[in-house]
Amino acid sequence: MSELASFVGKKVHVITTDARFFEGVLEGFDKNTNIILSNSIERIIYPAHESDETNEAIPSGVNILRGNEIVCIGEIDDVLHAKINWLEMKGSPLKTTKNPL
């Protein structure tokens, strides 16, 4: 049984190969790790050197993400999540994991 089965119906964070960061409820998945997220948002966290930029949370409703584009899926701890100020958080840019053609 896949480890993802324990995440179904729970809020998760997903990082994709092109360094996008999604948050939503995992509704389902298949053997290729294609997933369905509901109530999802894409979070854009700007680096500290771009301090004039305000982080974004873009609602995206239902998302279907292809398994070959997913790097990481993790369950959200609601208590820790509530303590994070997502608008003021700064981070380092993620590098893409895609290989150039």
Q: Is the pLDDT of residue 95 over 70?
A: no
The predicted pLDDT at position 53 comes to: 78
Of residues 6 and 53, more confidently modeled: 6
SS (H, E, C) the chain: CCHHHHHCCCEEEEEECCCCEEEEEEEEECCCCCEEEEEEEEEECCEHHHCCCCCEEEEEEEEEECHHHEEEEEECCHHHHHHCCCCCCCECCCCCCCCCC
Instruction: Express each pLDDT in 14-50 by its tens digit.
Output: 999 888 999 999 999 999 999 999 999 999 888 877 6
Mean of the per-residue pLDDT values for the chain? 88
CATH (one of 3.40.50.300, 3.40.50.410, 1.20.1300.10, 2.30.30.100) for 3-83 = 2.30.30.100
pTM of the model: 0.83
Q: Is the pLDDT of residue 7 over 60?
A: yes
Please tell me the predicted confidence (pLDDT) of residue 27: 97
